[in-house]
Structure 1
């Protein structure tokens, strides 16, 4: 992976913004295009898929906890108890979209990664374990619970 840690951190932070497909954003080293933005689901998840314009690498980015959102509070509670967050199916859908895009565009799945801040970092670690990726996850909220959750919920 050629994406810098600084750019992973950038992608972990910009996912909190209102993004649109086709939008281009500048990281600290490279530029990225927003390929996909999840619709805010009934469980509150909204993530995005970015592509590095130079290397064509793809990154699924998930936001962290918003303690003003009951969905996120419930997700943190579930993870603290070793369970998958309610948003897990939506997170996997974003990753499946990214994998399908990679397959359709001749991009190696080895060039797909996940990142996120706080709770987003934890789900990035879960995605890495479930899909065999390099997580590049930033600050998992309850990272020590990640493997326990995966053991319980599977991929």
Structure 2
């Protein structure tokens, strides 16, 4: 989270979490939240802001891009849970999106280079490009649970933290 950005619905800015004198880790109650399996109501408020794409008819909903602004507190909690899950789960080396340091911009030049080299040798090449439009809005919770179990994510992390994050949606 970058400093000097707009506050979330809980009116706590990212700057507050970065104060050295405040020691936010001492007064965050993430472990208590997981133990009690509750999320504060103020964290569950998500403000949705429509922004016009500058194309199309302004009266149509499809002409707007939605920006969702959750509280900074829940973003920090999500990052902690994400970090703990990434410590346990090993992703494929071929994964090109949703992985830090490996975006789709890296894969596109690699695919072009592969196509050029195969064309020079006059050999066939098979390439699959999957366009996942808003994949996180369509993943079923059952699939998330099965995937976490399959990758041996510890039950206390699976049941506590992930349940809280999925319950807020």
TM-score (norm 2): 0.30
Larger Cα Rg: Structure 1 or Structure 2? Answer: 2
Higher strand fraction (1 or 2): 1
